[in-house]
Structure 1
Amino acid sequence: MSQRTFQFRLRSSHDGPTRATQSLEVEFLAESGEWEPQHPSLTTPGFRLYLLSLLLCQHFYLVANAQERAIPLQRVEGSFTVLTSADWILEQLNGDFRLRLDPAVSAEERSRADDEAIAFISERMKLCPVSRNLPATAEKAIGLRLET
């Protein structure tokens, strides 16, 4: 049996002072090899909605916990690859999120994004209810790192 592969990428901006999400772009890699912007609607295939909810839940938990730690986010970029069996059972999830801090803030504010804070956010992302409901057999790897 062959696997199915689904790939997404995400970009968001977070201007001060609240660092809330100001813009969010999500794209899906279509079979044609072209990245397609995603604007979920009632006509979006159900499984794609499920995968989008997984990606957006991870992003929400990342941003919310960065705000809690007063980390001066400027941008978040992420990539997501999901492998399923031929009959659509999720087998593997690989995510990679990269944070860019606001270069206009002080060194003290930037220092809030230390290794401990990044580890804290990464652990909290695992609490996303969509992720917690993935099959126990699915391999999950979500990376979070600070761009320099």
Structure 2
Amino acid sequence: MNIEMKSVRKLRVHWPVTSETFSRLAAGEAEAFKDDQGIAALLQALTEFVDLGDFGKYRHVFESGLGFEGFTVTEHANPTLGKVGMQTISPTFVFTTYFEAALDDAAVDRFTRRIMEIHPWEVPVIELSGPISVSSTALEAAIGTTAAS
């Protein structure tokens, strides 16, 4: 069986959440994705851009993790959380999805700007990778073909 690979870029967004949402997600409560307005808005943005999370038979594919962001607010900032001169630690939802590496810059700019519009931070952490390879083969198709032989 050959595993097909496709060239993609990774989009990762760090999104602040409340301690309650963090705890619910850590406990495996999938309803927390819908109950948290910020995460719900982020997932809605994912569905607005057909190029994000497109894996052929599957659409709007994403991965998530939990972590913490740390920062110190400067006197020129207008923070959502934290005070000038103090280090702040924020519970964080880490959202990752993928898009075709050949996608034009204008499309990438559109969804990056959309995420910045809905993100609660003054300076959101949004990562865009260079091209990487991910598998694009549906295993059931390969297994089904082998089983039928």
**TM class, shorter-chain normalised?**
0.3 to 0.5
TM-score by length of structure 1 reads 0.40
Higher relative contact order (CA 8 A, sep 6+): 2
Over alpha carbons, which structure has the higher Rg? 2
TM-score by length of structure 2 reads 0.40
More strand by share: 1
